[in-house]
Structure 1
Amino acid sequence: MYNVGRFAPTPSGQLHFGSFITALGSYLQAKSQNGEWLVRIEDIDPPREVAGAANHILFTLEQFGLNWDREVLYQSKRRERYHAIIESLIDCQLAYYCDCTRYRIQHLPHHCYDNHCRNLKLVAANDQPMAIRLKQTQPIYHFVDQIRGKQSVNIHQAMEDFIIYRKDGLFAYNLAVVIDDYEQGVTEIVRGADLLPVTTKQLSLYQLFNFEKPRYYHLPLALNSDLSKLSKQNHAQPITINNIQQLTIKALLFLGQTIPDNWQDSSQEQLLQWAIKHWQISDIPKNDLVFCD
């Protein structure tokens, strides 16, 4: 089987150490199997995006020697495709309009949507923005993560009719990521453990569309000293290109990998080739870790 991996950052800021871990881990997993590694810019949420961030992310990846194998895909150029999928789901009565407020949903038991609008037959109205929800017919209750083993969700989460198009006119992540991963031929999804909770939703879409499911690998999150996730929202500092090899070694150690003796004498290309040859998924920690800069 030919393997295809990917790194799919949101251009909401420059790369920080947490996102670099994901980039490096996904790259090494793909290359260790002589597969392709793709880069996709997930730029369909303009309020979160920072001008110039996408170009800076790509520039940084190149400086670290993480070179992608196909043209970069921008989700912002895929809107017509997402619209077509959603329209087909509505036509097949597999999706519906929903005007429920966030306040109402937050006060429901288990904080899960109760499928209130499923049978109301609401129609789109210009004066009343509405979300579109998938009618959940293919619930997934558990899956096997290649790093963390069997993962499960409760019945309420599995049965929830989740949003595929938001009230603010933006496409929901779960729909866009599944369509893009499938149509790019992605076979292995290596990403941060913060996305574990939405994986069953995405797998239910794979099942609904009769797509071949990818394998999932959820990497440990880098945490601040207060155990919050290292992220742009928490003001994580961008990585720089002043210490490329040192940062690569730090990321490899974070991922539980062995490092070469006298690595200081290696070029970045030699270091990456060594890491590809010695990559071991089984050595990756199964728990999130505090990152000490």
Structure 2
Amino acid sequence: MKRRGRFAPTPSGLLHIGNAFSALAAWLQMRQCGGEFLLRIEDIDKPRSRPAFAEQQQDDLLWLGIDWDEGPRMGGPFAPYEQSKRGQLYEAAMDVLREKGRIYPCYCSRSELASIASAPHGLSSEGPAYPGLCRHLSAEERSSKAEKKTPSLRFIMPEEAIVFQDGVSGRMRFDGEALGDFIVKRADGIFSYQLAVTVDDAAMGITDVLRGADLLDSTPRQLALYDALGLTPPSFSHVPLIADEQGDRLSKRDKSLTIASLREDGVFPERLVGAIAYAAGWTDHLEPIAAHQLIPIYQPPSGNKEPIIITQHMLDWLRHD
């Protein structure tokens, strides 16, 4: 069976250098092993997503030299490749979880959740662990609360530890109970990232997920969903985040470092790819290089705890004529 990887951006903003690194690494991983590479638009949260961003993201990826075998503009056997059009699959998964008794309604107010969010917690894709306030409500209590509030639906995490082998960081262990039950469908009817990405990766036959280290603790949650849904999980690799010299994460909030802005400034794609390749250790000096030239020399970054630094010198070099 051919290996299949993917890049799945959320069109709530423009791609930035950190996104470019994750996309490039995922693309190189598949191109090096002769696998297939998919693009999926994760626009499940419609109020935050913009079609114009999705189009710009695709233009930016192609400008970088990153193409895809299946996805928007291309089609493929698992179309549609936009999550906003795949709701029936997510609802079917919810039916399975409901039948297995793995979800429950949560009536917590915003103020209650805000008090939980104010508790100290580390880097987490889901924020602080939910303490299960609504898990053990009686039928009468649920009925009473349902009259006042439409509930969200939470997935019951297993009590036992979840262990997996990360392709970058090695053996990882998470206490399922400590992660807390998480929302799989919001009160407004929007399915969660964790549910949608699990269902889609399984449905599309993804064998390798390579993404940023900020999503590392999404993996045990998704593995628990794979198990509950009776699906086969892919292998996971979490690459380091991109940061500046002060260690601050480069993000889409810095508009000068979006790919679109760099393009407007006249930056050549080979220079951006060259800067990323040098920072990631794929090349030993700064030089313009096309994405396809990295295929034979690509290596997975080692470790994901320390960010990859993009120095001011590299940023200045990008704009060098």
Do these two structures clear the TM 0.5 threshold for a shared fold by scoring above it? yes
> Which position in structure 1 is the counterpart of 2:297?
278
> Which position in structure 2 is the counterpart of 1:195?
215
Counterpart residue type for residue 102 of structure 2: L
Distance 1:11 1:83, change over 3 A: same
How far off is 1:67 after superposition?
1.0
Counterpart residue type for residue 97 of structure 1: P
User: Following the alignment from structure 1 to structure 2, what is the Cα–Cα distance between the partners of residues 108 and 147?
Assistant: 30
- Whether 1:181 aligns to 2:201 is yes
> Which position in structure 2 is the counterpart of 1:54?
54
User: Following the alignment from structure 2 to structure 1, what is the Cα–Cα distance between the partners of residues 19 and 303?
Assistant: 16
User: Following the alignment from structure 1 to structure 2, what is the Cα–Cα distance between the partners of residues 284 and 142?
Assistant: 17
TM-score, with length taken from structure 2: 0.80
- Structure 2 gaps of 5+ residues are 73-80, 122-127, 316-321
- Whether 1:250 aligns to 2:275 is yes
Give identity over the alignment, percent: 33
> Which position in structure 2 is the counterpart of 1:68?
68
User: Following the alignment from structure 1 to structure 2, what is the Cα–Cα distance between the partners of residues 64 and 213?
Assistant: 30
How far off is 1:163 after superposition?
1.1
Counterpart residue type for residue 16 of structure 1: H
Instruction: Kindly report which structure 2 residues correspond to 1:226-241, keeping only aligned pairs within 5 A, or say none.
Output: 226-233=246-253, 235=255, 237-239=257-259, 240-241=262-263
How far off is 1:109 after superposition?
9.6
User: Following the alignment from structure 1 to structure 2, what is the Cα–Cα distance between the partners of residues 235 and 203?
Assistant: 34
Matched length: 286
Q: Secondary structure at the match of 1:249?
A: helix
Contact 2:157 2:176 (8 Å CA) reproduced: no
Q: Secondary structure at the match of 2:33?
A: coil
> Which position in structure 2 is the counterpart of 1:15?
15
User: Following the alignment from structure 2 to structure 1, what is the Cα–Cα distance between the partners of residues 195 and 106?
Assistant: 17
Instruction: Kindly report which structure 2 residues correspond to 1:43-192, keeping only aligned pairs within 5 A, or say none.
Output: 43-72=43-72, 73-101=81-109, 102-103=113-114, 105-106=116-117, 111-120=128-137, 121=139, 122=142, 125=146, 128-137=149-158, 139-154=160-175, 156-158=177-179, 160-192=180-212
How far off is 1:207 after superposition?
1.6
Contact 1:190 1:218 (8 Å CA) reproduced: yes
TM-score, with length taken from structure 1: 0.87
How far off is 1:211 after superposition?
1.7
User: Following the alignment from structure 1 to structure 2, what is the Cα–Cα distance between the partners of residues 117 and 285?
Assistant: 35
How far off is 1:55 after superposition?
0.1
Contact 1:108 1:114 (8 Å CA) reproduced: no
User: Following the alignment from structure 2 to structure 1, what is the Cα–Cα distance between the partners of residues 304 and 100?
Assistant: 43
How far off is 1:285 after superposition?
6.7
User: How much is the aligned-residue C-alpha RMSD, in angstroms?
Assistant: 2.7
Distance 1:274 1:18, change over 3 A: same
